[in-house]
Amino acid sequence: MKSRRLRVGVLDVESGTLHGSWLEERLKAHAPDLDVALTAVEPAPRRVGRSGRGERIPLRAFYSEPIYRALTEGGIDVGVHRMKDLPVPLPSGVRVAAVTERKTPLDVLVTTDGAILDDLEEGALLGVSSLRREAQLARYRPDLKLEFVVGSLSERIRLVEAGKLRGIVVAAAGIEWRGWQDRVSEVFTAQICLPAPGQGALGLLVRADDDGTAATLRFLNHTISHQEVEAERAFLETLNAWDGSPVAALAQVKGDILRLEGCVCSLGGGEIQRDWTEGFPEDPQRTGERLARKLQKQGAGELLEHARREAELE
């Protein structure tokens, strides 16, 4: 019997290689006759904007366009991407066939001596890579110096090891993918820093009309993670947030309740609108929409638009 070939596209970055290898292993264990071919896709360039301190910075924007372009043009059958970096709504012609079981969705601090955020000396230099992190950390510790750093997780950690940064703030999931939990000094609570919508989960994308491939991937869908991510993305979409905006959200399913907390920040964290709501796990879309409208009534829409103008996106 001829084996079926499945072309899987991953971003040509350090994390993309890890995600692709993981998916290949799972697919082959589930369907041994499946011929899985990994294809590296060059990520789109980052957008440029301004930080809360007015400096020009590369933004953590939705740089997934080459993945869904390769899907719609027929170059690949499956696209693997972090859910936090997928646009809302998704482009026409593609859909999420599965959301993988979420790793820790929170942010973590990496220092060489194990120092936590409260113990850092005044004026300590921390590396961040999003307006969301910059705003919340500046609000919590306004005395710290925050610098935007980009590159692979390995490259950013080397800056800390070389003494060029006191520490870096990154997603816990990136650390967990590499098995580097021993390098983490602190896992931030949501009270310190709410994560990006979708953080910690992978999305497996297929063409909108490809029911066969979607069925093949269905075993990898984690229902609770999918519900949580869908609520967070509905929050982001209803806010009409721009790429890389200082918006955060965290949904958690506990029993028959889905709790969603979210915030919208000004650049630099001078003002933060934050609130929460609860709903049913079976209807995450409505829960996300409800929280967004709740914050919009408090002025989140105007705050987000002001931040967009300040960021001077290119």
> CA–CA separation, 253 vs 217, rounded Å?
23
Residue 193 contacts residue 107 (beta carbons within 8 Å): yes
For the residues of 107-157, what is the DSSP string, one character each? EEEE-SS---GGGSPTT-EEEE--HHHHHHHHHH-TTSEEEE--S-HHHHH
Q: How far apart are CA 169 and CA 156, in angstroms?
A: 10
Beta strands in 144-286 (DSSP E): 145-148, 167-171, 184-187, 202-207, 247-254, 257-265, 272-279
Note the Cα 93 to chain centre separation in Å.
22
User: Could you give the domains of the chain?
Assistant: 1-101+201-221 (3.40.190.10), 107-187 (3.40.190.10), 223-307 (3.30.160.40)
For residue 192, which amino acid is it?
A: I
Q: From first to last of its 314 residues, what are the pLDDT tens digits of the chain?
A: 456 899 999 987 888 889 999 999 999 999 999 999 999 998 777 777 777 777 777 665 456 788 989 999 999 999 999 999 898 999 899 999 999 999 999 999 999 999 999 999 999 999 999 999 999 999 999 999 999 998 889 999 999 999 999 999 999 999 999 999 999 999 999 999 999 999 999 999 999 999 999 999 999 999 999 999 999 999 999 999 988 899 999 999 999 999 999 999 999 999 999 999 999 999 999 999 999 999 999 999 999 999 989 887 65
Assign 180 to helix, strand or coil: coil
